């Protein structure tokens, strides 16, 4: 079947019908006249446009829980696409940067080189264009992506990647110097000097509209009547106990509203508007080559962190995202033939509910796990042995102590500092492991070299750590929490663990070359790039971790 929204080709004989009857007759005949072309088994031509949509922190159960209310773009993809219900970001550190490095490379973070947000895109050697803030580039990213494969096949290929977040705009297309834009806190879409020294005219024109400031003072109210939401609105653990009920009102100051926009559904709408402006300016999808548009939408992550995956706010955010994606796809299909477009959708990671909220997940007994006593003792003992440092600190989500760092369950030891004071690393690692195993809420503590001996088909935690790191050189220990537990770190809902709740994501293909259906086979996000490569008839330029999901292809 052709996707909904496809342009209809009216048989030329109809043009003799008077103008007055053309509309109703074309409606009447659309299905009949268009059917022969639409039902061809395989399009001889590859799609002219790949639209890859990443919804930051989108759990697959958002689609099932809210399916009856999804009347826009999400509903269209979910109901008309090839939907893999058993899809995973199959690596351990389920954060934004590693997840986005996988989506169009077809390789795990162990091979993309992007192991954590803290080792993502921040780059002090480049600066932002027309904006203040941290410079960003893909300098840590290794290897190629679908972007490179498309350009290798046809140098005319045009690329555009946009997001609210720098890492989510940069990493999907790898190292290629293409139009890549993200949102700066001054309300402008920016890029970095890695890509160019000035913003193109269409970006400056979009920025000049000052859309973010126009939301100053605006209230976010639920889209539907109260009866449409089964979630209680008043849950004090949400939003750190402040402003946890509707309406959520933007600051009346345009500057502040611009800075806070990322917490509101309107940020996604603006990102999609910006993407559409780019489609027009760059003439994406006009062919004959296959172009690529990557859009990563970040508000589901921001709202999920603040209010949790069981909140009325996340429910409403998904409905608003659904409507915004519907408007976007309708706009795209107005200027391009939908039969020339393949759409893919996934997420960079899932989200674990607040330990205090029990709604859709079996998280009874979930706790916040405090690593500080172990890390404090480690820092003290290394300091006493002569390892220099400033004692235990916690900055930007990372613990550091004398001779070590601890981030997202990963302990790194400073080999040089340890050997200088003649500390046996293996003995130290053994002692720290024993200490961590006594911490309530810790499920397991592993060395990477030992995990390689495990049955990585059955032991998914071992497999996911091995998809992050290849040996013990950099990483001394990896600590995994029991599912649904959090590392102690502020009162936001979290992700980042190797457990299914953070790794399970939607994987959907829709449109040109896609065979719609529900598929329950195990699918990895690493499989998306090779599958899209097959659909658009390009060859990956290196060995991939993923494989083609043949069931999804016509
Ligand atoms: Zn994310």
CA of 100 from ligand 1 middle (Å) equals 8
CA of 268 from ligand 1 middle (Å) equals 14
Residue 403 CA neighbour count, 13 Å, CB half:
28
For the chain of 554 residues, list the mean pLDDT of each consecutive stretch of 10.
34 34 38 36 79 98 98 98 98 98 98 94 97 95 98 98 98 98 95 98 98 97 97 88 92 96 97 98 96 98 97 98 98 97 98 95 96 96 95 92 95 94 94 97 97 93 97 92 92 94 98 97 98 98 97 95
CA of 109 from ligand 1 middle (Å) equals 14
| 553/82 Cα distance (integer angstroms) | 9
CA of 346 from ligand 1 middle (Å) equals 11
CA of 96 from ligand 1 middle (Å) equals 3
DSSP state of 504: B
- List, in order, residues 6 or more apart from 501 with CB less than 8 Å away: 350, 351, 352, 361, 483, 484
Q: What is the CA radius of gyration of the chain?
A: 24
CA of 380 from ligand 1 middle (Å) equals 34
DSSP secondary structure letters along 103-118: HTT-S-HHHHS---GG
Q: Residue 15's CB: how many other CB atoms inside 10 A?
A: 9
CA of 345 from ligand 1 middle (Å) equals 14
CA of 63 from ligand 1 middle (Å) equals 18
Residue 26's nearest CA partner among 11, 4, 5 is 11
CA of 483 from ligand 1 middle (Å) equals 19
| 309/398 Cα distance (integer angstroms) | 24
CA of 208 from ligand 1 middle (Å) equals 28
CA of 332 from ligand 1 middle (Å) equals 26
CA of 97 from ligand 1 middle (Å) equals 7
CA of 393 from ligand 1 middle (Å) equals 25
CA of 348 from ligand 1 middle (Å) equals 5
Report pLDDT for 44: 67
pTM (two decimals): 0.91
| 116/261 Cα distance (integer angstroms) | 25
CA of 349 from ligand 1 middle (Å) equals 6
CA of 301 from ligand 1 middle (Å) equals 6
Report pLDDT for 486: 93
CA of 111 from ligand 1 middle (Å) equals 19
What are 300's two structure tokens?
């589901």
CA of 496 from ligand 1 middle (Å) equals 9
CA of 99 from ligand 1 middle (Å) equals 7
CA of 293 from ligand 1 middle (Å) equals 19
CA of 309 from ligand 1 middle (Å) equals 14
CA of 32 from ligand 1 middle (Å) equals 44
CA of 227 from ligand 1 middle (Å) equals 30
CA of 347 from ligand 1 middle (Å) equals 8
CA of 312 from ligand 1 middle (Å) equals 20
3-state secondary structure of 128: strand
CA of 192 from ligand 1 middle (Å) equals 21
CA of 91 from ligand 1 middle (Å) equals 14
CA of 56 from ligand 1 middle (Å) equals 5
Angle between helices 372-384 and 425-437 (to 10 degrees): 150
Report pLDDT for 472: 85
Tell how strand 410-413 and strand 404-407 pair up: antiparallel
CA of 5 from ligand 1 middle (Å) equals 30
What are 15's two structure tokens?
């043009």
CA of 8 from ligand 1 middle (Å) equals 38
CA of 537 from ligand 1 middle (Å) equals 30
Report pLDDT for 96: 98
């Amino acid at each position: 079947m052709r996707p909904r929204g496809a342009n209809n080709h009216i048989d030329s004989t109809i043009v003799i019908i008077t103008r007055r009857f053309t509309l109703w007759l074309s409606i009447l005949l659309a299905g009949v006249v268009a059917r022969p072309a639409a039902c061809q088994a395989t399009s001889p031509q590859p799609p002219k446009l790949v639209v890859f949509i990443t919804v930051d922190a989108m759990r697959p159960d958002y689609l099932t829980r809210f399916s009856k209310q999804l009347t826009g773009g999400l509903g269209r993809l979910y109901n008309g696409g090839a939907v893999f219900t058993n899809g995973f970001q199959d690596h351990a550190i389920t954060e934004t940067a590693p997840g986005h490095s996988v989506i169009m490379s077809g390789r795990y973070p162990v091979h993309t080189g992007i192991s954590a947000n803290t080792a993502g895109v921040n780059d002090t050697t480049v600066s932002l264009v027309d904006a203040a803030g941290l410079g960003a580039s893909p300098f840590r990213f290794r290897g190629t992506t679908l972007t490179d494969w498309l350009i290798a096949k046809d140098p005319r290929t045009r690329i555009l990647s946009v997001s609210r977040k720098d890492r989510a705009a940069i990493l999907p297309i790898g190292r290629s110097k293409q139009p890549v834009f993200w949102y700066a806190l001054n309300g402008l879409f920016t890029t970095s000097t890695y890509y160019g020294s000035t913003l193109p005219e269409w970006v400056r024109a979009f920025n000049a509209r000052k859309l973010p400031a126009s939301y100053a003072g605006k209230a976010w109210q639920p889209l539907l009547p109260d009866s449409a939401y089964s979630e209680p609105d008043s849950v004090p653990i949400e939003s750190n106990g402040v402003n946890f009920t509707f309406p959520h009102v933007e600051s009346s100051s345009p500057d502040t509203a611009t800075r806070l926009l990322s917490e509101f559904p309107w940020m996604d709408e603006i990102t999609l508007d910006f993407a559409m402006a780019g489609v027009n300016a760059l003439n994406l999808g006009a062919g004959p080559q296959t172009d690529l548009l990557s859009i990563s939408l970040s508000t589901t992550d921001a709202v999920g962190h603040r209010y949790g995956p069981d909140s009325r706010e996340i429910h409403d955010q998904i409905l608003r995202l659904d409507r915004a994606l519907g408007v976007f796809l309708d706009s795209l299909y107005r200027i391009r033939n939908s039969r020339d477009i393949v759409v893919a959708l996934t997420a960079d990671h899932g989200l674990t509910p607040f330990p205090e909220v029990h709604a859709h997940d079996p998280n009874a007994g979930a706790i916040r796990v405090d690593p500080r006593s172990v890390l404090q003792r480690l820092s003290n003992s290394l300091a006493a042995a002569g390892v220099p440092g400033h004692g235990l600190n916690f900055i930007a989500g990372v613990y550091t102590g004398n001779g070590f760092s601890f981030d997202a369950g990963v302990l790194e030891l400073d080999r040089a500092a340890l050997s200088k004071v003649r500390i046996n690393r293996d003995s130290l690692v053994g002692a720290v492991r024993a200490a961590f195993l006594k911490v309530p809420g810790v499920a397991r503590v592993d060395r990477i070299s030992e995990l390689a001996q495990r049955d990585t088909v059955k032991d998914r935690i071992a497999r996911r750590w091995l998809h992050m790191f290849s040996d013990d050189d950099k990483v001394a220990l990896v600590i995994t929490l029991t599912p649904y537990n959090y590392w102690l770190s502020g009162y936001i809902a979290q992700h980042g663990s190797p457990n299914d709740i953070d790794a399970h994501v939607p994987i959907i293909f829709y449109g040109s070359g896609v065979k719609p259906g529900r598929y329950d086979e195990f699918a990895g996000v690493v499989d998306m790039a090779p599958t899209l490569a097959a659909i658009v008839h390009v060859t990956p330029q290196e060995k991939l971790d993923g494989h083609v999901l043949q069931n999804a292809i016509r």
